Chains A and B, each alone.
Chain A
Amino acid sequence: QVQLVQSGAEVKKPGASVKVSCKTSGYSFTSYYMHWVRQAPGQGLEWMGIINPIGGGTSYAQKFQGRVTMTSDTSTSTVYMELSSLRSEDTAVYYCAREIRVGKNWFDPWGQGTLVTVSS
C-alpha cells in the first residue's frame, strides 16, 4: 500500500535550519508531485510548496520564498523539506502529501507529520 513515512520530531534554536524527510513506498515515486503543508499548534493547514520528483522542479508559497528548499532523491524515493532561519512562529507539524492528478487534483495520502519545535 502507499505509504509516506516522515522523519522524527526536531527541536531547533531560533536561526537554525531543519530538514524533514518523507520516504515513500508502494507506488511509482516519479509519477506524482509531492506537497508540504504545515499546521501550527491549534491552527489550520498552511500550504508551503510543491515538488516534481522528476527533475526537482519546485514552486513555493511566497511566504516561504528564500527560506524553504524542497528536494527529491529518486534513488531512495524520498522527498525533503528544509526550512532555514527558523523562528518561534515556525513551530508546527509539517506534513508531506502526495498529489493525485486526474483532471482534478487532491492530496492522498499524507505523511504522519513531523513536529518541529523552535525554542531557545
Chain B
Amino acid sequence: GESVGLHLPTLSVQEGDNSIINCAYSNSASDYFIWYKQESGKGPQFIIDIRSNMDKRQGQRVTVLLNKTVKHLSLQIAATQPGDSAVYFCAEINSSGGYNKLIFGAGTRLAVHP
C-alpha cells in the first residue's frame, strides 16, 4: 500500500475492541484540529474535526478528545472493524503566513486482527 514503508508506531487491536490513537501537537495557539485516515493505496481522508473551544466531539463510531492543557488529542474508535486498518494522522491548523495550512503529526498505524 501507499503508506507502507513509513516507520510508524503501530497499534494492534482485536476486531470488536475499542481503539485509542493519541497525538501530541506543538502550537498552543492552534484552534482547530483534524483527524485523517489513510488507507493503503489512497490519500488521507477527513474523519472528524474539533475546535479548541470543545473538549470532545463525537461522530459515527469515532470520538475525538482534546486536552489543551497538555496539548494532546486522541481518536477513539468504537467496535473496531477490519476496514479501520489504516494509518491515522492528526493535523492542526497553522495560520502563519496569512493563510491556513495543515501541519500533520507523524501518524499511527492501526492494525485490526480478526
Q: Do A and B bind each other?
A: no
On A, residues with C-beta under 8 Å from B are none
